[in-house]
Amino acid sequence: MLLPALTLALLLAEPDGAVAVGAQAPTFSLRTLNAEAAGAPWVRLEKLVGPEAEDAGSKVVLLSFFASWCEPCKKELPFLVSLDRTYRARGLRVVSVDIDGDEAGIEAARKLVAGVGVVHPVGSDRFQILARRYLGEKAPLPSAFLVRRDGTVARVDRGYTEDASAFLAAAVRAELGLSPEPKAPAHKASAAPGHH
């Protein structure tokens, strides 16, 4: 039954209705817009983090909220695909949540996700119940949350306007226990063949 879980999530939220760093991430179960690509008709946070997590390889979840009409979100989506591809084997799980409420918006989001080649799960939050839990009443977009294996929120970025690629990649690497992104190595001049 989802009602007790939702009630518990309401109690754990910040006074303004938004989740804060250090809080338990509200769990959810959403139907996926890309079920075939993601390999599942539903995405459930509790399968990835928390005491009942089924995904043994999951170390941190990057949860990103978007909508089809949000231009910065459209720019961020290919980056999320890249993060998923680069760090999945290291324990990152990316989950996107579409907050479009009408059929036209949901269909536009579905086309956007397919066009970018998203294979991580994209849940549909058409009534914005989950968005209000994480983002508060204003639901600024794009917004991203990093959730640790124990289910606590490690980082919150709501309604950012700068390019997310630098700060999200650094935050993901830090949460996975990886060193900062290495600088490109300087190329050494190699000796010509036959010369020592």
Structure confidence at residue 194 (pLDDT):
47
Residue 37: which of 129, 112, 127 has the closest Cα?
A: 112
Cut 0.85: pTM above it:
no
Q: The domain 2-175 is classified under which CATH number: 3.20.20.10, 3.90.79.10, 2.60.130.10, 3.40.30.10?
A: 3.40.30.10
DSSP for 79-142 reads HHHHHHHHHGGGTEEEEEEE---SHHHHHHHHHHHHHHT--S-EEE-TT-HHHHHHH-SS--SS
In sequence order, the β-bridge partners of residue 144 are 64, 157
Give the pLDDT score at 83. Answer: 96
What's residue 136's pLDDT?
Answer: 86
Name the residue among 73, 134, 148, 76 with its Cα closest to residue 105: 73
pLDDT at 16: 56
pLDDT at residue 180, rounded to an integer: 78
The pLDDT value given to residue 159: 80
* pLDDT confidence of residue 17: 62
* pLDDT tens by residue, 119-172: 999 999 999 999 999 988 877 899 999 999 999 999 998 887 777 777 889 999
One digit per residue, the tens of pLDDT, for the chain of length 196 reads 333 333 334 334 444 567 899 999 999 999 999 999 999 999 999 999 999 899 999 999 999 999 999 999 999 999 999 999 999 999 999 999 999 999 999 999 999 999 999 999 999 999 999 999 998 887 789 999 999 999 999 999 888 777 777 788 999 999 999 987 655 444 444 444 444 4
Tokens linked to 47:
């399968």
pLDDT at 73: 92
